[in-house]
Amino acid sequence: MNDRRSFFGKASVGLAVAGTNANAIAKVEKSEDGYSSGNAVTAERGVEKVSLKVTAPLFCPYHSISTPAEKGGGAHYYKSMPFTHNPFTIPASGMSGSPVIVDANGKFVGFMTTFGFENSTFSFDGKETLTVTVPEGQELFIEEGGDAAWKNYNSIMMKRLNFKPYTTTPDFWADVEYCTWVEQKSQSKVRRDHFKLLTHQFVSDYLDKVIEFGYPKGKMTLDHGWGIFPDGSLESGFGSWLPDPKTFPIFEKTMGMIQEKGFTPGLWIGFPKVHHNSTIAKRYPDMLGDWSVTSARKPNAERWLNPKADIFEYGSEVIARFHKMGVRKFKIDMSYNTKSDMLHIHKELYRAAKAIDPELEMEFHVPDIFFTKFTDVTRTNDVWLNDKYDWPARVKTHYEVTYKSSPGRAINLDHIGGNDTSVAALTEGKYLRHLAMYKGKTGYPLVSVLPHHISSKCVDATGEYLWDYEKGGKKIISDFYLPT
């Protein structure tokens, strides 16, 4: 972690546990075999290591990685082999949750502050010892009890971080959502062509199909592909955020058409990536941050947004532009890089949006307790229905990470049928199985690929599911915390 990213402050408290005074100075009591006791640990200046006896596998909700296996399963969240992780600085892929660990017997351990985040680590020996590095300024929560302990942690953290669970939201937040992304991919015949398929007519045809099916109306979100690519490369679209006049001659008319058909306009924006040929980088070069760790250092490789730049002003300019055109929901793709950078970007974008319109729905995919205050909706994020991997495990784990790591906020049950449009992946059986896994879950449904591509049975089953949701209680807020 270099100094550029050291934007969190420092404090002077060492260690804390539920039910104790976090500012107390006391000894860390240990059992006869040398392990710290979760019932007695309070705080002491100078404590550097805390050893806990644990049982593998350890559930590490922050450990979201970008590998083929991660796209199809949830095993990467469960660790039995030795590791050392900093959950604050770890690169995060699709769904990186709170900086906590739960062992197989329900022992819960969680960091309680971003102070001292650079040196706050979990280290497991692969046997039975978890060693937690607790630098000056950090605090640690330790409690037995699994979900009950996690709920207690969430309740304490919500008070510490000064946010309360939503009890009411604008009505449209709970509506069913439709998104163009997987439908774009399903119609693409050439690699990466789906970015160029999104047009005014595409959106109109999509909504007409939803109406033909008799599905409930709701939000309609335009995903990646609506913007210009200044130098011709797809990467140069990151940081431009201007509608392509060839595919959307008058963007306001597209937003108006969505509303005329009875839907609420939504828009995808991948804010935390930026390209040096983008319109924003040309105007404000300070927006350019690190090169993406997954891309070569070459002109057509996008970079991360500089978290030290004036993101509030940047976000305000872009969000206000589309708010004036009628957009009421923003689907934000985060940068998948170091979480401590992502937190600052996340917060500033949210502040910018709420200053423009408090009722804007801001959706992210980082279900971390420290990010939760600065979000309205967290999506369970992409799943590939690929039989090479245990994809049902990924569905379950992504939901669990979202539900438990972002308490008091809404959940988007992302992409019925998954994100893989190959013939082997998008079958009737898999689509229906995936849909069934979402029934009864907290969160609002999201349809992306139109199910008539698969079968009439999928069309009917989707309609039944959506109308059951529409006529039901529309429970969308995670209640994974202790009521006050």
Instruction: List the end-to-end C-alpha distance of the chain, in Å, as a whole number.
Output: 38
- In order of 98, 144, 153, 372, 401, the CA distances from 394 in angstroms are 17, 26, 24, 22, 10
Task: Enter the DSSP assignment of 324.
Answer: H
Quick check: 79 and 50 in contact, CB under 8 A?
no
The alpha carbon dihedral of 152, 155, 158, 160 has a sign of negative
**CA atoms of 376 and 351, how far apart (whole Å):** 12
- What pTM was estimated for this model as a whole? 0.91
Q: Residue type for 294, please?
A: T
pLDDT at 484: 78
Q: Map out the domains of the chain as residue ranges.
A: 3-155, 171-471
**CB neighbours of 159 closer than 8 A, spacing ≥ 6?**
none
pLDDT at 248: 97
**CA atoms of 413 and 394, how far apart (whole Å):** 13
Helix (H) or strand (E) holding 151: helix 147-160
Of the CATH numbers 3.40.50.300, 3.10.310.30, 3.20.20.70, 3.30.470.30, which one belongs to the domain with range 171-471? 3.20.20.70
pLDDT at 441: 97
Instruction: Compute φ and ψ for 290, nearest 5 degrees.
Output: -65, 155
pLDDT at 91: 84
pLDDT at 75: 86
| Number of CB atoms found within 10 A of residue 252's CB | 13
pLDDT in tens, the chain (484 residues): 333 222 222 222 334 444 333 333 234 556 666 767 554 344 456 657 999 999 999 999 999 976 766 666 788 899 999 999 999 999 887 789 999 999 999 999 999 999 999 999 999 999 999 999 999 889 999 999 999 999 999 999 999 999 999 999 999 999 999 999 999 999 998 877 888 899 999 999 999 999 999 999 999 999 999 999 999 888 889 999 999 999 999 999 999 999 999 999 999 999 999 999 999 999 999 999 887 655 556 666 788 999 999 999 999 999 999 999 999 999 999 877 789 999 999 999 999 999 999 999 999 999 999 999 999 999 998 888 988 888 999 999 999 999 999 999 999 999 999 999 999 999 999 999 999 999 999 999 999 999 999 999 999 999 999 999 999 989 999 999 998 7
**CA atoms of 341 and 293, how far apart (whole Å):** 14
**CA atoms of 237 and 280, how far apart (whole Å):** 10
Rg (CA), the chain: 23
Closest CA to 419 of 456, 394, 455, 452: 394
